[in-house]
């Protein structure tokens, strides 16, 4: 159930060029599933922002992590993000949530393909942390197809590469540039037999949706998360 929680900033670190993860104390009672998002609110803005003092952001931590909860985003000149970059550890923020249904299927019965454009990788980072932190065996083959404009902007790439070497059943395929049909066909041998998650900026999600349509993947097997605002 969605509620509003007051909490404070613990840390902030770079996860790629122009990309930041901000970590908060996990408020007691804040329960979520990997893949869900929150509305993050700032008490006051240091810079004007026409969209106001809050944004919708996916959670990057694992629900197993009882101490902290984190979000990650691309930096921009919006008043919200400029303020969030400047707030000192200890500053109070508001978390409203959790929201969304972009979670792992409760029953994993077929190979799962996760497709991420840029910062759209955040929900998958939470899912993979959740599955691997406690040594849970990934129950079905899982492939992450991850695309970025440049290698420098590939958030969490080192962590994902380490996960791929440690977690049997998990394969990472990273690409510089757009996800195209050739990339899908090279890395997914039976597209119609898989369950699909597609996450990223709306234009990227729309593009991959068209590719899957042409590969005749059943719409019922595809989940989408559009990071509107990009």
Considering only residues 81, 153, 175, 207, which one is a binding residue for ligand FAD as defined by CB under 6 A?
A: 81
Burial (CB < 10 A; 0-12, 13-18, 19+), residue 212, is buried
- Looking at 30-180, list the stretches that DSSP marks H as alpha helix, in order from N- to C-terminal side: 79-86, 122-133, 157-166
Question: Can residue 73 be called a binding residue for ligand FAD (CB under 6 A)?
Answer: yes
CA distances from 208 to 5, 23, 108, 109 (A): 36, 31, 22, 23
Min CB(120)–ligand FAD separation in Å: 8
Q: How far is the CB of 146 from ligand FAD (least distance, A)?
A: 14
Calpha distance 206→202 (Å, rounded)? 6
Nearer to ligand FAD, 100 or 169 (CB): 100
Which of 8, 78, 91, 187 forms a contact with ligand FAD (CB under 6 A)? Answer: 78
**Candidate residues 87, 143, 160, 225; the one interacting with ligand FAD per rule CB under 6 A:** 225
From 54-62, 104-112, 124-132, 148-156, span contacting ligand FAD (CB under 6 A): 54-62
3-class DSSP assignment, residue 131:
helix
User: Which contacts (CB < 8 Å, 24+ apart) does range 54-59 have?
Assistant: 54/80, 54/94, 54/96, 55/80, 55/81, 55/229, 56/99, 56/229, 57/122, 58/102, 58/122, 58/123, 58/126, 58/225, 58/227, 59/32, 59/34, 59/98, 59/122, 59/123, 59/126
Residue nearest to ligand FAD (CB): 229
81 vs 221, which CB is nearer to ligand FAD?
81
Q: Which positions from 187 to 216 touch ligand FAD by CB under 6 A, shown as an x/- string?
A: ------------------------------
List 80, 124, 130, 196, residue binding ligand FAD (CB under 6 A): 80
Contact region with ligand FAD (CB under 6 A), list: 3-11, 48-56, 159-167, 174-182? 48-56
Are 116 and 173 in contact by the 8 Å Cβ rule? The answer is: no
Out of 34, 38, 55, 97, the only residue in the binding site for ligand FAD (CB under 6 A) is 55
Whose Cβ is closer to ligand FAD: residue 15's or residue 195's? Answer: 15
Q: The tokens of 86 are what?
A: 């400047």
Q: Which residues bind ligand FAD (CB under 6 A)?
A: 37, 51, 55-58, 71-74, 76-81, 100, 119, 122, 225, 227-230
């Amino acid at each position: 159930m969605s509620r509003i929680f007051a909490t404070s900033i613990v840390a902030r670190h770079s996860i790629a060029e122009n990309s930041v993860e901000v970590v908060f104390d996990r408020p007691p009672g804040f329960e979520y599933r990997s893949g869900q998002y929150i509305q993050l609110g700032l008490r006051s803005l240091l810079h004007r922002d026409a969209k106001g003092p809050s944004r919708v952001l996916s959670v990057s931590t694992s629900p197993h992590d009882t101490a902290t909860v984190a979000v990650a985003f691309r930096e921009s000149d919006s008043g919200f993000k400029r303020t969030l970059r400047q707030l000192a550890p200890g500053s109070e923020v508001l978390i409203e949530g959790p929201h969304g249904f972009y979670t792992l299927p409760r029953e994993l019965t077929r190979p799962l393909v996760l497709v991420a454009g840029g910062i759209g990788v955040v929900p998958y980072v939470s899912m993979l942390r959740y599955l691997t932190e406690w040594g849970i065996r990934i129950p079905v083959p899982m492939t992450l197809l991850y695309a970025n404009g440049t290698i420098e902007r590939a958030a969490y790439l080192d962590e994902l590469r380490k996960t791929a070497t440690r977690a049997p059943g998990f394969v990472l395929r990273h690409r510089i540039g757009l996800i195209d049909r050739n990339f899908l066909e090279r890395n997914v041998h039976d597209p119609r037999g898989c369950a699909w998650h597609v996450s990223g900026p709306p234009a990227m999600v729309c593009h991959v949706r068209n590719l899957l349509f042409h590969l005749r993947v059943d719409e019922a097997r595809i989940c989408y998360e559009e990071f509107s605002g990009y």
